[in-house]
Chain A
Amino acid sequence: MGMISKSSPFMNGVPELLILSELAHGEMYGYQLVRAIRAKTLEAVSLSEGCVYPLVHSLERKGWLASRRATSDGRVRVYYRLTPKGAKRLKILTTRWDGLTQAIQGALGGRHERPKLV
C-alpha cells in the first residue's frame, strides 16, 4: 500500500480524526497512541511521531481532549482521553469523512464508465 505523508494535501484533517477516533476507545499515552494509529492504518499513514504531540496539545487546548499524569513502571506518562466535546467533534468529523469518501468513490467509479456515444 502506498504511504501518505503528513504533508500530503490528502492529509488535511486526517491526523485529528485518527487521534480522536483512537482515543474514543479509551485513554492512551502518547507512544501508545502513535503505535495504535500506525497499526490501525497498516502504516499507510506515515506521521513523524514527534509531529503528533503538537497536534494532541492543540486538541487539548480546544477542549476535545483532557490529559492526566500518571506513573507506570517507574515512568511518568501523560495519558490523554476524549472529552464529551471531543466526542461530539469526532462524530462531526466522521460524518464529513464518510460523505467525502462516498462522493470520491462515486466520482472515481463514474470515471471508469465508458461514455455513451450518441
Chain B
Amino acid sequence: MNGQNLFDGLRRRLAAKGVSAPYVDRLLEELQLHFQASVDRHLLSGFSSEQAETAALARLGTEQEIVRATLHTLRRESFVGRHRILCMIVAPPLLVTMARLLVVYLFLFGFQFLIRGFPHIYFRISRFQGPLDEMMCNLLVPLLFISAFWRLGRRKFCGTGYTMVGCCLLTACSLWIQVKHRAAGMPRPPHSWVPSAYQTALLSIYCILLIAWLIRRNRQITA
C-alpha cells in the first residue's frame, strides 16, 4: 500500500463512520504532513525512496488502527459516546415518557392547581388531556430529532448511524404495534403510549429524510 492509498482509504472509512468532513480533512492534512516529514527523515538516513515510504507507512500505523483511534477518541469526548446503550436505547423512550408526564401532568396540571384548586381543575384538564397528549408527542418527536441533529452537527463526530438505527427501530416498533392492534380489532386507547397512525407517519418521514440526508452527506464527503 502506498501513502495515497492509505489516505484515500482513511477518508472513505471515516466518512462512512459519520466523522464530519471538516475534521476528516484536518486529520488527513496533518497525517500527510507527518508522512512527508517521516519520508524526508528516512531519505536523509540513506533509504531509497521506496524504502523510505514503506518505513514511514509502517510508523504511521494501519488504516484500521488510525480509524479505531480516531473513533475511540471522538466517542470518549461526549457523554453519548461514552454511554451509547444508555443514550441510544434506554434514554429516548424514558425521556419522551418523562417529558410527557412532566409537561402535561405536572406543569399544566400543577399550574392550574395553584390557580384554581385540585378537583375542579382535574376534570377540566382531563377533557383536554387526549389532545394535549397528542400535541405534546407530535411536538416532542421532532424536537428530539432537531436537538439530536443540532447537538451532533456541532460536534466534530456525528453519531448519525446510531440515530438512524434508533429511528428505524422506533418506526418499526410503532408500525408493528399498530398492525397488531388493528389485527386484534382493538381500538387505540385514548391516552395510550402506542403511537397513532399520524405519529407513525411522521416518524417514517423523519426516517426517510434522515437516510436521504446521510446518503447525500456521504456522497459530498467522498466525492
Chain A residues with CB under 8 Å of chain B are: 6, 29-31, 34, 48-51, 53-55, 57-58, 61-62, 75-78
**Contact sample, A vs B, 11 pairs, CB 8 Å cutoff:** A31-B34, A34-B34, A49-B38, A49-B61, A50-B65, A53-B30, A53-B31, A54-B66, A54-B72, A75-B36, A76-B33
Residues of A within 8 A of B27 (CB): 53-54, 57
B151 interface hit (Cβ, 8 Å): no
Complex A-B, nearest 10 residue pairs according to Cβ-Cβ distance, in ascending order: A48-B61, A51-B69, A31-B37, A54-B73, A50-B61, A50-B66, A54-B70, A50-B60, A58-B73, A48-B65
Closest chain A CB from B219 CB (angstroms): 24
Residues of A within 8 A of B66 (CB): 48, 50-51, 54
Residues of B within 8 A of A62 (CB): 77
Chain B residues 103-128 with CB under 8 Å of chain A are none
B62 interface hit (Cβ, 8 Å): yes
Residues of A within 8 A of B36 (CB): 75
B59 interface hit (Cβ, 8 Å): yes
Interface pair B69/A48, CB less than 8 Å apart: yes
6 further A-B contacts with Cβ under 8 Å, apart from A34-B34, A57-B73, are A31-B37, A48-B62, A49-B60, A50-B66, A53-B27, A76-B33
Whole-angstrom CA separation of A60 from B62 in the bound complex: 24
Closest chain A CB from B45 CB (angstroms): 13
B216 interface hit (Cβ, 8 Å): no
Whole-angstrom CA separation of A29 from B38 in the bound complex: 13
Residues of B within 8 A of A51 (CB): 61, 65-66, 69
Whole-angstrom CA separation of A49 from B36 in the bound complex: 13
The residue in chain B whose Cβ has the minimal distance to the Cβ of A38 is B59
Q: Which of B37, B38, B59, B69 contacts A54 (CB 8 A)?
A: B69
Residues of B within 8 A of A29 (CB): 33
Residues of A within 8 A of B30 (CB): 30, 53, 78
The residue in chain A whose Cβ has the minimal distance to the Cβ of B38 is A31
Q: Could you say which of B59, B61, B73 has the most chain A C-beta atoms within 10 Å of its C-beta?
A: B73
Q: Could you say which of A34, A51, A53 has the most chain B C-beta atoms within 10 Å of its C-beta?
A: A53
Q: Which of A6, A30, A77 contacts B69 (CB 8 A)?
A: A6
Residues of B within 8 A of A50 (CB): 31, 34, 60-61, 65-66, 69
B74 interface hit (Cβ, 8 Å): yes
The answer to whether residues A58 and B34 also contact, given A6-B69, A48-B60, A48-B62 and a CB cut-off of 8 A, is no
Residues of A within 8 A of B72 (CB): 54
The answer to whether residues A55 and B69 also contact, given A48-B60, A49-B38, A49-B59 and a CB cut-off of 8 A, is yes
Whole-angstrom CA separation of A54 from B69 in the bound complex: 7
B82 interface hit (Cβ, 8 Å): no
Interface pair B38/A30, CB less than 8 Å apart: no
Whole-angstrom CA separation of A77 from B32 in the bound complex: 11
Residues of B within 8 A of A49 (CB): 34, 38, 59-61
